[in-house]
Amino acid sequence: MRAIKEVIVVEGRYDKNALSQVVDATIITLGGFSVFNDKEKLAFLRRLAEKQGGMIVLTDSDGAGFVIRNYLKGALPRELVKQAYIPDIAGKERRKRKAGKEGKLGVEGMKPEVLLEALRRAGATFLDEADTPKQKGDPITKADLFAMGLSGGAGSAAKRQALLQKLELPEHLTANGLLEALNVLFTREELAAAMEELEL
The reported pLDDT for the residue numbered 194 is 80
d(CA 45, CA 76): 8
Full-model pTM: 0.74
Domains in the chain: how many in total? 2
The reported pLDDT for the residue numbered 177 is 74
Considering the domain architecture, whether residues 27 and 110 belong to the same structural domain is answered as: yes
Domain range enclosing 147: 142-197
- Judge whether 51 lies within some domain: yes
Domain boundary (122, 152, 182) is at 122
Amino acid in position 160: R
Annotate 136-145 with b (16+ C-beta within 10 A) or e (fewer).
eeeebeeebb
Mean pLDDT of successive 10-residue stretches along the chain, which has 200 residues = 94 95 94 89 89 94 93 92 93 84 92 95 87 61 89 88 80 76 79 80
Q: Can you give the CATH number for the domain in which 87 is found?
A: 3.40.1360.10
Q: Are 163 and 40 in contact (CB under 8 A)?
A: no
Considering the domain architecture, whether residues 57 and 93 belong to the same structural domain is answered as: yes
* Residues 6+ away with beta carbon under 8 Å from 73: 57, 81, 83
The reported pLDDT for the residue numbered 28 is 93
Considering the domain architecture, whether residues 9 and 79 belong to the same structural domain is answered as: yes
The reported pLDDT for the residue numbered 135 is 46
Considering the domain architecture, whether residues 34 and 114 belong to the same structural domain is answered as: yes
* Residues 6+ away with beta carbon under 8 Å from 116: 2, 22, 23
Considering the domain architecture, whether residues 76 and 149 belong to the same structural domain is answered as: no
The reported pLDDT for the residue numbered 130 is 56
Q: Are 104 and 92 in contact (CB under 8 A)?
A: no
Q: Are 84 and 56 in contact (CB under 8 A)?
A: yes
Domain boundary (92, 122, 152) is at 122
